[in-house]
A and B are shown apart, each in its own frame.
Chain A
Amino acid sequence: MGRIVLNRDKCKACYLCIDACPNKVLEPDENVNKLGYYPTRVSLNKEDKCVGCAICARVCPDMAIEKVYR
């Protein structure tokens, strides 16, 4: 089981991570962040599905996913 540390105020809502996530753990948030975007978040009921592959962090152009644990 993995865990990501996501800085939601750095996300610019390109959602490349949502497309790349193999287990479809990520989804758009319903609330805007400081930049005015709807950032990515980990789906509340899918937290345990994250395997910590760090693919989301590698495709993120804004380095909003700061740490990945496995």
Chain B
Amino acid sequence: MEQLVYKKPDSIRDDFKITFCPGCDHGIAVRLVAEVLDELSVREKTIGIASVGCSVFSYDFFNVDIVEAAHGRSLAVATGVKRSKPDKVVFTYQGDGDLASIGLGETIHAMTRGEKVTTICINNTTYGMTGGQAGPTTLIGQVTTTTTKGRDPQLSGYPLKVCEILKEVDGTAFVARVTLDSPAAILNAKKCIKKAFEAQIKGLGTGFIEILATCPTNWKMTPQQAHERVRGEMSEVFKPGIYKDRVSEAI
């Protein structure tokens, strides 16, 4: 007798159409968030906040209510949604350019206030949607369309490490950086995303996940080479791991 061991999560719309480039890790991240919403049985009362960037199309995939925020302002919108509807589960789905550059003020202040929301940040070290410009997390020496000779720290600074900053912010309850480069890493990422949602549901504070994702199109690599880069030079600068975990302490 055949047993169903995997199916598309219910929190993904039935008429979904993935608009990302081939091999982009965004699709995996979207699915993991949807699987977690299914497992926690909170789909019916979840409100997502979409941002600007490749993550803008969240409303095309997630089978939950989605609010579209202005560039970088997702956490400000999430604050308003959560405070007016405290019984809802609120999450933001942002890229690194949105969260760490344009919206860094909103990010830090919402987390300093300990807003009971969950934030998923997709860090692909570039502005993917607009054509691969240098972002705040672009690595030293990385060639992008605006750093054509590689990022020079004297000229354009050093990559911003968001997890290291946010773990020092008192309002956060769970801060972790995960990768999606192997099946084991994907399972680990799902566990961390679940904890970030539990941090919110238990009222402990903000849950923050930074996902090291690939952008094969703008890195000009195959999906396989892009995952190799995540494992190599990206993981050396952005070290994966759990930076803060008040969820396990609370249990």
- Interface residues in chain A, defined as those with a beta carbon under 8 Å from any beta carbon in chain B: 2-3, 10, 12-16, 19-20, 37, 52, 54-55, 57-63, 65-70
Contacts and interface: CB of A to CB of B under 8 A. Distances in A.
Contacts of B4: 67-69
20 contacts: A10-B18, A12-B18, A12-B22, A14-B223, A20-B182, A37-B22, A57-B6, A58-B183, A61-B18, A61-B22, A61-B25, A61-B28, A62-B18, A63-B27, A65-B6, A67-B8, A68-B4, A69-B2, A69-B3, A70-B5
Contact of A13 (B5, B22, B25): B22
Binding site of B, secondary structure by majority: helix, strand, loop or mixed?
Answer: mixed
A69 B3 CA distance: 5
Contacts of B22: 12-14, 37, 61-62
B24 interface: yes
Interface of B: 2-8, 12, 16, 18, 20-28, 31, 182-183, 186-187, 216, 223-224, 227
Nearest to A10: B18
Nearest to A52: B5
Contacts of B18: 10, 12, 61-63
Contacts of A16: 23, 223-224, 227
The 5 closest A-B pairs by CB, nearest first: A61-B27, A14-B23, A12-B22, A68-B6, A54-B6
A48 B7 CA distance: 20
Nearest to A7: B8
Contacts of A14: 22-23, 216, 223
Contacts of A58: 6, 28, 183, 186-187
Contacts of A60: 27-28
Contact of B24 (A37, A61, A70): A61
